[in-house]
Amino acid sequence: MRQPIAVLLFILTVMPIWAAQALAADLEVTLTGIRNDSGSIRVAVLNRLAGFPDADNAVALHKEPARPGSMTLHFTGLEPGRYALAVFHDEDDDGELQRLLGLIPLEGYALSGDTGRMGPPSFGRMAFVLTDEGAAMTLPMRY
């Protein structure tokens, strides 16, 4: 009698862990056209419009020393859903995207989706769907 109860307790204990792993997805992001090795590449993974594109609202953040050419970054354990990516090449490593007159980016950047070059990006135009199978994308840096 004790053995079936122990097995049942074990299953009930590990079931949430299995379920959480089943809901976790991986995202691979390749950035191309990085012009130099100054500073860092910063990536924000966002999942909502509120506060967008403020990195304080990011689901995941990544910072890595810049390398010229291309870089591939990995995000693991994301819940399947709708996301947007905002990337910038923080060449002076001050944590902020430098802008001319507060509007025009002076440092390299990349955005997921079809954002165009004019005006501020919207979450809806940048969004993509991450399924439980994961996703991979390539984003060209714009300077």
Domain boundaries, the chain: 25-140
| Position 13 pLDDT exceeds 90 | no
Number of Cβ within a 10 Å radius of residue 128: 13
Please check whether residue 32 is in contact with residue 137, taking contact to mean a CB–CB distance below 8 angstroms: no
Which tops the pLDDT comparison, 8 or 131? 131
Confidence of residue 7 (pLDDT cuts 50, 70, 90): very low
Which pLDDT score is estimated for 51? Answer: 65
Instruction: Report the CATH number of the 25-140 domain.
Output: 2.60.40
pLDDT tens profile 80-138:
999 999 999 999 999 999 999 988 899 999 999 977 767 778 889 999 999 999 999 99
Confidence of residue 16 (pLDDT cuts 50, 70, 90): very low
Alpha-carbon distance of 52 to 122, in angstroms, equals 8
Which pLDDT score is estimated for 143? Answer: 96
Torsion of CA 61, 53, 35, 143, to 10 degrees: 180
